[in-house]
Amino acid sequence: MRTIPIRASRSYDVLIGPGLLGEAGERLAELFGPCRAMVVSDDRVDALYGEALRASLRAGGIRAERFTFPHGEESKTLATYGALLEAMCKANLTRRDLLLALGGGVAGDLGGFAAATYRRGIPYVQLPTTLLAAVDSSVGGKTAVDLAGGKNQAGAFYQPSLVLCDTGTLDTLPQKERRAGCAEVVKYGLLGSEALFEALERNPAGAWSEDTIAACVEMKRRYVEDDEFDTGARQFLNLGHTFGHAAELLSGYSLLHGEAVAMGMAAITRSAAEAGLCSGETLRRLTALLGAFGLPTDLPYPAEALARAAGTDKKALGKSITLVVPEAVGRCRLETVPAADLLLWLRRGGAK
Ligand SMILES: NC(=O)c1ccc[n+]([C@@H]2O[C@H](COP(=O)([O-])OP(=O)(O)OC[C@H]3O[C@@H](n4cnc5c(N)ncnc54)[C@H](O)[C@@H]3O)[C@@H](O)[C@H]2O)c1
């Protein structure tokens, strides 16, 4: 098992290893003392792991309440968030109680936002069960729901009190979800670790190892500790996300987040290569690696529509937008460009 301490406005540990779900009750009882817990998960994850977690909580003397929502991004809404708050209120949870977000990034973002705002904030624990949630969304305290106008448009920075990543749960992920999670792992390599990128080129299956997950969380730790509130260095983590979020929105969320990030990463790298900001070799290696994971690398949407959708992205600030631009494998830079230039960046990136 690996333990990575995160030092932010609230400090906490990220534990990574097999069997952690079964130990959750004991660990939480030790950390929080007598309390109750609202377990938030989608229907699929609840069916797979809900009872195991509840049994573990019972063994630790923690009474569990349960809130389950239909799986998928379509549930990351104000309506589900409101229903969850009402369920917490009905269960009369107090500020001494906990919220447990069991699942992928959707359960984590939604549960985290409810924890941030219920009675002005109660503690919560992330229990990620997707690769994406393990390496990215469960760490760093970004919580949100989507609005009709865009992804993650209502949310809060609110750190968890603990992250328990039971790597055994990743075994049951459907193939499509497995592939999508790998996009975020590739992102860390392209962003700041040529060694990680090369290791994935040699052995793509290594994306699932405890070592790789820990390496990604360790990288995320540095960005979060440097810039918890995302006004500087943390923006690097948005690599591939500006165009990716736009594609996700235009697809009506039929694209998985990781698939959209893969498209966005390939497009910004293609655009950078076209502009002479990175080599053609960097682009070739990226598209080959994404291809090895079966991830898409083309951006099949009109540039104008993507530019409009990207304008609602959180990275857009007034009339300018900050892009994360690859310079080489393992090195990127932030580039603030006039919003009017987005079309050019998108067309160079291969948008129609
Ligand atoms: N907060 C952040 O910093 C951050 C970072 C990146 C992404 N995100 C958000 O994360 C979300 C995407 O997360 P995701 O890809 O985990 O999606 P998700 O939560 O929808 O999970 C994907 C699917 O996998 C299923 N699933 C989850 N765990 C499983 C398991 N162990 N076995 C079988 N099936 C399982 C779920 O039921 C769901 O259908 C997006 O909303 C994105 O905006 C947040």
Ligand 1 centre distance from Cα of residue 105 (Å)? 4
What tokens were used for 196? 């990680």
Model pLDDT, residue 315 = 54
pLDDT at 339 (0 to 100): 87
How many whole angstroms separate alpha carbon 261 and alpha carbon 238? Answer: 9
Q: Is the CB of 138 under 6 A from ligand 1?
A: no
Spatial distance between the Cα atoms of 81 and 156, rounded to a whole number of angstroms: 13
User: What is the model's pLDDT at position 131?
Assistant: 96
Distance between CA 309 and CA 321 in Å, rounded? 12
**How far apart are alpha carbons 104 and 130 in whole angstroms?**
5
Distance in angstroms (rounded) separating the CA atoms of residues 9 and 73: 28
Is 103 a pocket residue for ligand 1 (Cβ < 6 Å)? yes
Does the beta carbon of 73 lie inside 6 Å of ligand 1? Answer: yes
Cβ of 105 closer than 6 Å to ligand 1, yes or no, is yes
The pLDDT score that the predictor gives to residue 352 is 85
Q: Rounded to the nearest whole angstrom, what is the distance from the C-alpha of residue 28 to the centroid of ligand 1? A: 23
Percent of the chain whose pLDDT exceeds 90: 93
Q: How far is CA 124 from CA 75, 127, 231, in A?
A: 20, 10, 24
pLDDT at 256: 94
To test the ligand 1 pocket, which listed residue (152, 177, 179, 227) has its Cβ within 8 A of the most ligand atoms?
A: 177
Would you say 92 and 102 are in contact if contact means Cβ atoms under 8 Å apart?
no
d(CA 305, CA 290): 24
132 C-beta closer than 6 A to ligand 1: yes
The model's pTM: 0.94
The two tokens of residue 155 are 């949310």
What pLDDT does 283 receive?
A: 98
What distance in angstroms lies between residue 38's CA and the mean position of ligand 1's atoms? Answer: 19
* Residue type for position 80: T
Report which protein residue has its CA nearest ligand 1's atom 11.
105
C-alpha dihedral, 34 to 40 to 43 to 49, nearest 10°: -40
Tell how strand 162-166 and strand 124-128 pair up: parallel
Position 101 scores a pLDDT of 98
Residue nearest to atom 44 of ligand 1 (CA): 137
Q: Is the CB of 21 under 6 A from ligand 1?
A: no
DSSP lists the bridge partners of residue 166 as: 17
List the helix and strand counts (H, then E) for the chain.
Answer: 14, 12
Measured in Å, residue 257 CA sits from the centre of ligand 1 at 8
For residue 93, is it left (φ>0), alpha (ψ between -120 and 50) or beta?
A: beta
Q: What is the pLDDT of residue 318?
A: 63
Which residue's CA is the closest to the ligand 1 atom numbered 2?
Answer: 137
Residue 343 pLDDT: 93
pLDDT, averaged in runs of 10, over the chain (352 residues): 97 98 97 96 98 97 97 96 98 97 98 98 98 97 93 96 98 94 97 97 95 97 96 95 94 94 98 97 98 96 93 63 96 94 95 90
Return the residue whose CA atom lies nearest to atom 4 of ligand 1.
137
Q: Give residue 82 CA to ligand 1 midpoint distance, Å.
A: 20
Please give the single-letter amino acid code of residue 112: G
